[in-house]
Amino acid sequence: MFGEHETPTDIRIAALRKKHAEDAVRFPIIVHAGGWDVPQDLRKHIAAARVCQLAEDPERFIKYAVDAEAVAYLMTASLCFPFSHEWAQIYLHVAGKYMTEKGLKQLPDFIDDVKLNDYERNHLLKPLKRWIRQKQFKHMKGLKRESRGQSIKRNDQTVTEAPVLCDSSYAA
């Protein structure tokens, strides 16, 4: 029934990759309300990181935004209001990962030393990344409904959303 080395799991993973390949490029970038935009180099990095995440772990791609998407959201939120200690730590952590992935060899000490505790990682960052991905799927579902019969072009837009960062109610 399956190829010589294919398992049902391999086939399911391949189907997920194929189904969501367009999403990796077309998803909007979710930013905090406030009118701020995301730098072009971060936009490009987000698209590349999504493709890599989809290739490595399609199930994770469906559930969670990549770290660079958290950077984009937190960057725009930080321009609107001061962060609590926990959110500042999270922002420095994901910004440091983004800067390392971008090729920066030496991070400033105040970023390089940031380690998230269990609460920050599992009860704040992870739900934020899940919330971002859910907003993207919801946005794309609305676009598909609006454009039945028309082809949807690559989506370079940003979508503005504003959950309260000190409240985990956005975490499904």
**Amino acid present at 137:** F
Is the residue at 29 inside a domain? yes
77 in Cβ contact with 160 (< 8 Å):
no
Q: Is 128 part of any domain?
A: yes
Q: Are 146 and 104 contacting, i.e. CB atoms less than 8 angstroms apart?
A: no
Instruction: Look up tokens 């958290």; give the residue.
Output: 70
Q: Please give the tally of structural domains in the chain.
A: 1
Residue 71 lies in a domain: yes
Q: Are 100 and 107 in contact (CB under 8 A)?
A: yes
In a domain, 121, yes or no: yes
Residue ranges making up the domain that contains 30: 8-142
Instruction: For residue 35, tell me if it sits in a domain.
Output: yes
Whether residue 64 is contained in a domain is answered as: yes
Decide if 2 is inside a domain.
Answer: no
pLDDT at 14 over 90: no
Q: Tell me: the pLDDT tens digits for 75-94? A: 999 999 999 999 999 999 99
Element (H, E) at 32: strand 29-32
- Token readout for 61 is 């791609």
When mean pLDDT is compared across 46-50, 96-100, 141-145, the lowest value belongs to 141-145
Is residue 168, in this structure, part of any structural domain at all? Answer: no
Q: Give the percent of the chain with pLDDT over 70.
A: 78
Q: Could you read off the pLDDT of 56-80 as tens digits, one per residue? A: 998 898 899 999 999 999 999 999 9
Residue that the structure tokens 């189904």 belong to = 19
Q: How far apart are alpha carbons 125 and 49 in whole angstroms?
A: 17
